[in-house]
Structure 1
């Protein structure tokens, strides 16, 4: 693959800005340098962008549609960790476990169970999973609910299902701030849930929160990973 030198320069400049922004947020929150990892969300962008980002030192890449992610993972030769960050139907579990290193969007017991079964039959290593938390508890949105009425989407039942999977590893939580919530309020609530989860599952230390528009608020409330798309990849014409 011949490098696109112009695109390489664009991504290098954007990556430097994003990294600087993350480190400023880390310093402002009084946290240790390097304590927040970047997940580059490359959905709708070509495999060549992933290769360029990997060459610039990006190690974690997020995708949100199985068909695109599977093809891209097969096309990319760079050694990156693939995060599946989109809504996932159970019938896609067998495909996703073949390439993903982390599934961040586990919001139901049934999905956790499906991933566990698929991982057991199709992987020789553990699959890290994060519990997607519904911050506002709205059942119409994706994610598990703290104290929800639906047992399948009760956050603590989902956590137990994920932790109990023979080839799954419960890594922590993920969330998106609801549009009608202030990010600081949303991520404060997530931080509380993450702390309670760690009390039962000490290894569940990941807090994936914050995107291009609100990463500072997420870092202030303990995010360990931020998922950045637009600020990194820009508004280049994406794949269709």
Structure 2
């Protein structure tokens, strides 16, 4: 266990240094960027170790893995983010442990989340997931709504009992005009965030950037970066 803790501590320190350097290069304060560690495929013991090392924000993308892990770590001072595509039949479970749902991309999901949040007596922060590669009116390959659909979903979130519209999230597209142009994609998201805040001033979260492109996200203005591999290592079966 000590060996794993040392490994995670070293990885975290390197990621922290990358974020600090990116903030300095962009003229931003380090405290303006929040690190969310994506713990998918890794055990609850790693989550516990990360909490010991000072991590307070963790993310998961599959409910069947996240629910038991969150239950096992319920005693820890963590804020749980759900970042995967969310089916409505998983909403009740996710509402039980998630503090933030970053992948809201359709009105039916808003309705389901609201119903379960009220039933559970909880208030959830929700982000509209933006698919920068989606045709207007369509959804992206990895989920997400086209930019033209943001306002409608944000309005629905703002009116939904038990939910708050917290801001926007995106994953850098693999296809389309932003393929290989992560910073341009994240700058586009920031423009969309600025527009959103005209009507929803509290929707200040901008979640963008992962292990490979966190610097570009910070340069563009992201408030939250979601880092998995650079902290926890290459996921089992992927390397």
2:179 pairs with 1:162: no
2:66 pairs with 1:72: no
- Is the contact between residue 38 and residue 225 of structure 1 (CA under 8 Å) also seen in structure 2? yes
- Cα deviation for residue 236 of structure 1 reads 5.8
Bigger CA drift: 201-210 or 26-35? Answer: 26-35
SS of corresponding position for 1:62 = strand
Measure, in 2, the Cα distance between the counterparts of 1:211 and 1:237.
Answer: 18
Measure, in 1, the Cα distance between the counterparts of 2:122 and 2:219.
Answer: 33
SS of corresponding position for 2:215 = helix
Measure, in 1, the Cα distance between the counterparts of 2:221 and 2:183.
Answer: 11
- Is the contact between residue 23 and residue 34 of structure 1 (CA under 8 Å) also seen in structure 2? no
Q: List gaps (5 residues or longer) in structure 2.
A: none
- Is the contact between residue 105 and residue 129 of structure 2 (CA under 8 Å) also seen in structure 1? yes
When residues 21 and 140 of structure 1 are mapped into structure 2, their CA distance, relative to the original with a 3 A threshold, is closer
Q: Map 1:1-240 onto structure 2 (within 5 A).
A: 4-76=1-73, 77-122=75-120, 124-138=121-135, 139-141=139-141, 142-147=143-148, 154-180=149-175, 181=179, 182-235=181-234, 237=236
Measure, in 2, the Cα distance between the counterparts of 1:213 and 1:79.
Answer: 28
TM-score after normalising by structure 1: 0.92
Measure, in 1, the Cα distance between the counterparts of 2:31 and 2:232.
Answer: 22
State the number of aligned residues: 228
Bigger CA drift: 40-49 or 24-33? Answer: 24-33
TM-score after normalising by structure 2: 0.92
Measure, in 2, the Cα distance between the counterparts of 1:90 and 1:236.
Answer: 27
SS of corresponding position for 2:164 = strand
Deviations 1:165-213 (A, max 9, x none): 1110111000001023200111111011111111110000000000000
Bigger CA drift: 154-163 or 220-229? Answer: 154-163
Q: List gaps (5 residues or longer) in structure 1.
A: 148-153
Higher helix share: 2
Deviations 1:21-78 (A, max 9, x none): 0010011111123110100000000000000000000000000000110000001131
When residues 235 and 82 of structure 1 are mapped into structure 2, their CA distance, relative to the original with a 3 A threshold, is same
Bigger CA drift: 155-164 or 34-43? Answer: 155-164
Measure, in 1, the Cα distance between the counterparts of 2:211 and 2:34.
Answer: 14
Measure, in 1, the Cα distance between the counterparts of 2:127 and 2:48.
Answer: 25
